[in-house]
């Protein structure tokens, strides 16, 4: 009877030890699961943060590039307009200069013609006067 009681006690102890082992295993499993979950969460958060930062960086870069492109386009348009204006001004001045030169040439020709006509007339007049004077005396 005593032997049976000792065996029963021993079995109970073994059962208790097994239960304790099971509890320890469960605790370890829980701890491992929790650690894994925490690690996964941290990794996911880090990845999300990195992705978000990257996206923001790319957006900023795109915005900067767009702004730069717009500025470059504006500058090109301004340069083209300035060049066109300068060309038009140059053409206008050249036309004006040509017109002025033509006018000057015309005026000079007219003056020369008038001077020649006047000289011819004066010469004729002098010639007739001289002839008349010679004829009279």
How many Å separate Cα 87 from the centre of its chain? 26
d(CA 43, CA 37): 10
pLDDT at 137: 63
d(CA 87, CA 12): 109
pLDDT at 127: 85
pLDDT tens for the chain, 137 residues long, are 788 888 899 999 999 999 999 999 999 999 999 998 999 999 999 999 999 999 999 999 999 999 999 999 999 999 999 999 999 988 888 888 888 899 999 999 999 999 898 888 888 888 888 887 777 76
Tracing tokens 């090109």 back to the chain, one arrives at 76
């Amino acid at each position: 009877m005593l032997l049976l009681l000792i065996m029963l006690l021993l079995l109970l102890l073994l059962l208790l030890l097994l239960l304790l082992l099971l509890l320890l295993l469960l605790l370890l499993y829980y701890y491992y699961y929790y650690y894994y979950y925490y690690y996964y969460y941290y990794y996911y958060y880090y990845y999300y943060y990195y992705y978000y930062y990257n996206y923001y960086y790319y957006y900023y870069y795109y915005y900067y590039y767009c702004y730069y492109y717009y500025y470059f386009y504006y500058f090109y348009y301004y340069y083209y307009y300035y060049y066109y204006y300068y060309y038009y001004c140059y053409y206008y001045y050249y036309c004006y200069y040509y017109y002025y030169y033509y006018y000057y040439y015309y005026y000079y020709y007219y003056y020369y013609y008038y001077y020649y006509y006047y000289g011819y007339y004066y010469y004729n007049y002098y010639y007739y006067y001289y002839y008349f004077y010679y004829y009279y005396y």
